[in-house]
Structure 1
């Protein structure tokens, strides 16, 4: 259905409307049978993605959401029933800046009287790992924002972002590498049993935000854990090989070789390394059902939280890893 222009339709303000997550939110709301007015925020309203959104009925506004621009943020949030906020740590690699800017957005939304603040958060890995992995700043900073927003008193839902499926097609350290004619290896510094909450972000993340808005099962104070599928890296490689028809094996490599293979600055490579290690160690838990003399491994991710309930009320099914593989051109990766 078309995005509404009716003043009676709820107004949803989407930060980063031309990005992966923000664009997915706009897409999901446009698919709804409910009417929404959508105000999209971006720095450059002249770029093609912004013009395309404007043509579809989105009110596009150019704004820099820097820490010194809180008054302008409050003005664009004015009258909003819902605000969706995501921050881009990777743009500047400054966790203090990310927290300061996100705090400003929380404060601006509260001052504007926003009905619901939806935040794209992540777990604080340094806290979950009890200090073992302190360098995953893109997780830790968002964890601090989550705590601040909850304590602020604003009606708040944390819609955590899963592991981008596109990482395995775009990031050098996660792409399969050719080791011989028609033979490839995907090498990571974790075991093949490591569980990841994989999501085709552009296609599916917005479904969870729409669920946060529309489903009575959720509401202020709740948390939604996004993934298209919780799947081990070993199974991901097996399905990738089967669907592409290529010989692809999985190998565990040492930490130093992985960091070198990413081609990233050492501090950034360390973030990626520690985030993988965290998922290996915290992605499942032992569970002994009562009355049974047996111990099972219960597949839980998100620091031991079950993502299954977050998928129950979605408007349509998400893509699985296999669906993503089939919809992706791997010719440049598996050349």
Structure 2
């Protein structure tokens, strides 16, 4: 069913509507058999992605969701029935700023009187590892926001996304000596990690398992994954799907991986945090010890990683 303008349909707020997560939620709402009004937030409503949403019937709001815009945010959230909220740590790499913005959006949704909040969270690996891994700020900030949301007094659901399929486009490394390609990581080659087809599946988890659940699952965490694949299996499937491009996997040490990130222009503190995160994923699980939706049998039609490989744009990866 297409997005409607009927006032009888629930109004869903979607933060980051032109991004991967928010865009997937809008797609799932549009694909649903139930009618929805959708108010999508973006910082620039002149870009093509925003114009495409408007053509679909989405009410596009151009607004930077920062604490300095509190009054405008409260006004823009008014009248909503549900809210999908997300923050982007890597936009400013400031954990305190991310936490403040996440709490503000939760407060604004509460003030609007929404029936439910769906928040894009992540696991605390400091908690999951019993304090062993403490330098993963892009996960820790979201975990703080999750705890705030659970205590806000509004029905609140956290959806955690696995590793994006698209991440694997930018992690291919070319060996200058012989021109071969590889993935390199501190996770051992046979350790499975949860992967998510953001375009098709993330939004389905949000809509089907939260917004359209028979009873809004207040307090639940949903672990969104399409497949669980090891690095060696990812390399094999990319090799097979690229018809002639051979991609291997190299198991690196902590220092080797940090140095590799730094060589690609990533500041060392963030290279350390990303690498430490992968170590925790391997030892304690990406979602901690929680089973992914894939393991729990979520049956929304999915595009396999192998199918995605054949349709993705690998031109930069194999340049």
TM-score range relative to shorter protein: over 0.9
Once residues 191 and 48 of structure 2 are traced to their aligned partners in structure 1, the CA distance between those partners, rounded to angstroms, is 39
**Partner residue in 2 for 1:265:** 267
Once residues 233 and 176 of structure 1 are traced to their aligned partners in structure 2, the CA distance between those partners, rounded to angstroms, is 14
1:119 is displaced (CA, Å) by 0.0
1:218 is displaced (CA, Å) by 5.4
1:68 is displaced (CA, Å) by 2.8
**Partner residue in 2 for 1:290:** none
Change (3 A) 1:40 1:167: same
Once residues 100 and 226 of structure 1 are traced to their aligned partners in structure 2, the CA distance between those partners, rounded to angstroms, is 25
Do the aligned partners of 2:258 and 2:272 also contact (CA within 8 Å) in 1? yes
**Partner residue in 1 for 2:183:** 186
Do the aligned partners of 2:25 and 2:202 also contact (CA within 8 Å) in 1? yes
State the superposition RMSD in angstroms.
1.8
1:182 is displaced (CA, Å) by 6.0
Superposed counterparts of 1:102-251, under 5 Å: 102-170=102-170, 174-178=171-175, 181=178, 183-211=180-208, 212-216=210-214, 219-244=217-242, 245-251=244-250
1:111 is displaced (CA, Å) by 1.4
Which shows bigger deviation, 33-42 or 196-205? 196-205
Cα deviation digits, residues 205-239 of structure 1 (max 9, x gap): 11111111112275222221111111111211121
Give the counterpart of 1:305 among 290, 294, 308. Answer: 290
2:77 pairs with 1:92:
no
Once residues 11 and 308 of structure 1 are traced to their aligned partners in structure 2, the CA distance between those partners, rounded to angstroms, is 26
Q: Which runs of 5+ in 2 are unaligned?
A: none
1:179 is displaced (CA, Å) by 5.5
2:305 pairs with 1:321:
yes
Once residues 94 and 227 of structure 2 are traced to their aligned partners in structure 1, the CA distance between those partners, rounded to angstroms, is 30
The count of corresponding residues between Structure 1 and Structure 2 is 314
Give the counterpart of 1:275 among 273, 277, 296. Answer: 277
- TM normalised by structure 1 equals 0.89
Q: Which runs of 5+ in 1 are unaligned?
A: 284-300
Once residues 226 and 139 of structure 1 are traced to their aligned partners in structure 2, the CA distance between those partners, rounded to angstroms, is 15
